[in-house]
A = this chain, B = another copy of it.
Amino acid sequence: MPAAHAPSPRTTVRRGAARAAYDADTVRSVLSAGVIAHVGVTTDDGPIVLPMAYGVRDGAAGAEVLIHGALANAMMRVGESLDVCLTVTIVDGLVVARTPFHNSMNYRSVVVRGMASAIREPDAKLAALRVINDHVTPTWADARPPSNSDLRATLVLSIPLAESSAKVRSGDPIDEDIDLDGPHWAGVVPLETRWGRPDAARDLRGNPPVPPGVAALAGTDAHPSR
């Protein structure tokens, strides 16, 4: 059974604390269901937040989140470790209360804080890239493997999962007692995210089969709960 993450001072959720969770299962469940992360760093010019693909695994030093981008990406500083915040959010619905002050959204989110460090050794970088690539669905094995120059052009960063927190809201709106006999409707509009049918590239030659990982996505919930 994975160890629980103790809330650190930085990850203790201050609002809606009833919905916070620090256990590894919830954190991993949300990360598993997410498709992109928003990664924030501090620059001399102020904070910057960029959307990025990511993967998660249990590495030698513990659970970690992996992100990548070409060396030209402004966020990545070769040779340094980088203080980052990585946030994954899945919106599950619009919560319509009897008054706007109690409107909300149903969502699953995880915030990971830590120092991102580069994975440089080529085999380790390759393995990490595969984890990121296959996060949404496994396609690595059914594609042409990366070349050495592909690999050189990509920077892969690892962030420990040790300082992470989840926040989850689900269910009905929570209104004031005095509003419950009022004339206003209240409820939830669910947000459903599904993968559609694979659409072959216009320049596809021959008739290669749709890879299993791609076929498996079609029609499925993009953010399944475990």
Q: Report if A79 contacts B (CB, 8 A).
A: no
191-226 of chain A: CB within 8 A of chain B: 191-206, 208-211, 214, 217-218, 222
CB distance from A116 to the nearest CB of B (A): 11
Closest B residue to A207 by beta carbon equals B185
Closest B residue to A73 by beta carbon equals B15
Contact assessment for A193 and B192 in the assembled complex, using a CB-CB cutoff below 8 Å: yes
A49–B204 CA distance with the chains assembled, in angstroms:
40
- Which of A40, A49, A188, A198 counts the most chain B CB atoms within 10 A? A49
Q: Beyond the given A38-B89, A101-B146, A185-B209, could you list 8 further A-B residue pairs with CB under 8 A, ordered by the A residue number?
A: A35-B91, A40-B48, A99-B143, A100-B139, A103-B143, A144-B182, A187-B198, A189-B214
Closest B residue to A100 by beta carbon equals B133
CB distance from A214 to the nearest CB of B (A): 6
Kindly report how many copies of this chain are found in the complex they form together. Answer: 2
Number of residues from A at the complex interface, CB < 8 A: 99
Contact assessment for B187 and A217 in the assembled complex, using a CB-CB cutoff below 8 Å: no
Contact assessment for A129 and B109 in the assembled complex, using a CB-CB cutoff below 8 Å: no
Contact assessment for B196 and A208 in the assembled complex, using a CB-CB cutoff below 8 Å: no
Q: Which residues from chain A sit less than 8 Å from chain B, CB to CB?
A: 9-10, 14-15, 35-36, 38-42, 45-51, 53, 69-70, 72-74, 83-87, 89, 91, 93-94, 96-101, 103, 105, 107, 109, 111, 113, 129-130, 133, 136-137, 139-140, 142-147, 150, 153-154, 172-173, 179-206, 208-211, 214, 217-218, 222
Contact assessment for B184 and A113 in the assembled complex, using a CB-CB cutoff below 8 Å: no
Q: What are 13 A-B contacts defined by CB distance under 8 Å?
A: A40-B40, A47-B47, A49-B49, A100-B133, A172-B203, A181-B205, A184-B211, A185-B211, A187-B198, A187-B200, A187-B214, A189-B196, A189-B218
